Amino acid sequence: MVPTNYYVILSAILFGLGVFAFIFKRNVITIFMSIELMLNAVNLAFVAFSQALGKLDGQVFVLFVIVVAAAEAAVGLGIIILIARNRQTLNVERVDLLKL
C-alpha cells in the first residue's frame, strides 16, 4: 500500500509546477494548459483522500471537476480564437488593450 502522503506530496509538486508554468509561459494556449495541470493535481489529492478515508465523495467531486474543466476548455478556447482573430497574436504581452 502506498502511503497517502506520497500522493498528496506528488499533487503539491504538480500544482506548484502548474503555478510556475502559469506565471512563466507567455503563450495564452500554454497558460490555459497549465490551468488544466493544476486541476489535475487537485483531482489526484481528491482521489488519494477518498481512498484514505474509505469514502467515495472525493471521486464524485473529481467527476464534477472534470465536467467543469471540459466546459471551461470549450469557452476558454473560444475566447482564445477570438483573441487570435482580433489581435493576430497569441502572446499575452501583446494583448494589452486595457494598459495605459
Partner 1 sequence: MTAPLVVFFVLAGLAVIGAVSLILQEHPIHSALSLIVVMVALAGLYLLLGAEFVAAVQIIVYGGAIMVLFVFVIMLLNAGVEEHTSLSKMAGAPGLLLVVALGGFVAATIAKSTESVQAAPQTGEIASTTGISNMLFKDFVYPFELTSFLILVAVLGAVVLAQREKL
Cell of 34: 497549465
- Distance from C-alpha of 86 to C-alpha of 83, rounded to nearest angstrom: 5
Write out the binding residues for partner 1, residues 30-69 only, by CB under 8 A: 30, 32-34, 36-37, 40, 43-44, 47-54, 56-57, 59-60, 62-64, 66-69
H helices present in the chain, as ranges: 4-24, 28-53, 57-87
Regarding 12 and contact with partner 1 (CB under 8 A), the answer is yes
- Distance from C-alpha of 8 to C-alpha of 82, rounded to nearest angstrom: 37
| Interface residue list for partner 1 (CB under 8 A) | 1-10, 12-21, 23-27, 29-30, 32-34, 36-37, 40, 43-44, 47-54, 56-57, 59-60, 62-64, 66-75, 77-82, 84, 90-91, 93
